[in-house]
């Protein structure tokens, strides 16, 4: 998504000034709509930013059923993608993915966002690999499946990730 797309979506929802970023450590969750008087869009739970982005996707790509897809927390507007949502597939099986590679699932607590703490490693921890969630969803549910982070602060896989089918 672009800043312009978020700006237009905010204005369509009645926020006259459009979109802005909040906070000092700006990331994908820093996006807010702002009213003419400077009032910011209220987002109380992390899930609400995903709901807002889905709404922005529906505004930008009307005529299809969209869902938000967070590509990275390290960016702001362009961290978000819009995917054509078919249906829910399930929770990605990270443990099964690691085991299929002869590795074990580990959780690295030093990573800032809990959803991104999952890795595959050998028993000696001499080989540690990141987990490509898009590939896990394809492996588990077929080539039409795609990953989605719905809560980067989720400490369990089921609280942070899901897979869905694209249309």
Average pLDDT, integer, range 48-57: 90
Q: Note the pLDDT tens digit of each residue in 145-165.
A: 999 998 888 999 999 999 999
pLDDT digits (tens, 9 = 90+) for 5-51: 999 999 998 999 999 999 888 899 999 999 999 999 998 877 788 88
Domain parsing of the chain, residue ranges: 3-84, 91-166
The whole-number pLDDT of residue 71 equals: 85
Q: What is the pLDDT at residue 150?
A: 85
What is the DSSP secondary structure assignment for residue 76, as one 8-state letter? Answer: S
Q: What is the pLDDT of residues 85-121, one digit of tens each?
A: 889 999 999 999 999 999 999 999 999 889 999 999 9
Which pLDDT band holds residue 133 (cuts at 50, 70, 90)? very high
CA 16 from centroid of its chain's CA atoms: 27
In angstroms, the CA 137 to CA 134 distance is 5
Tell me how far the alpha carbon of residue 153 is from its chain's centroid: 11
């Amino acid at each position: 998504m672009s800043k312009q797309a978020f700006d237009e979506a905010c204005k369509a929802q009645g926020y006259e000034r459009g979109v802005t970023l909040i906070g000092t450590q700006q990331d994908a969750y820093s996006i807010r709509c702002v009213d003419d008087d400077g009032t910011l869009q209220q987002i109380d739970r992390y899930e609400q930013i995903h709901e807002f982005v889905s709404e922005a996707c529906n505004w930008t790509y009307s005529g299809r059923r969209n869902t938000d897809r967070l590509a990275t927390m390290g960016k702001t507007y362009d961290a978000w993608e819009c995917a054509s949502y078919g249906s829910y597939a399930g929770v990605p099986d990270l443990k099964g993915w690691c085991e299929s590679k002869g590795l074990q699932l580990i959780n690295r607590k030093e990573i800032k966002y809990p959803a991104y703490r999952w890795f595959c490693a050998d028993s000696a921890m001499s080989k540690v690999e990141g987990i490509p969630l898009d590939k896990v969803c394809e492996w588990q549910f077929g080539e039409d499946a795609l990953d989605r982070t719905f809560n980067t602060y989720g400490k369990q896989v089921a609280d942070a990730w899901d897979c869905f089918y694209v249309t």
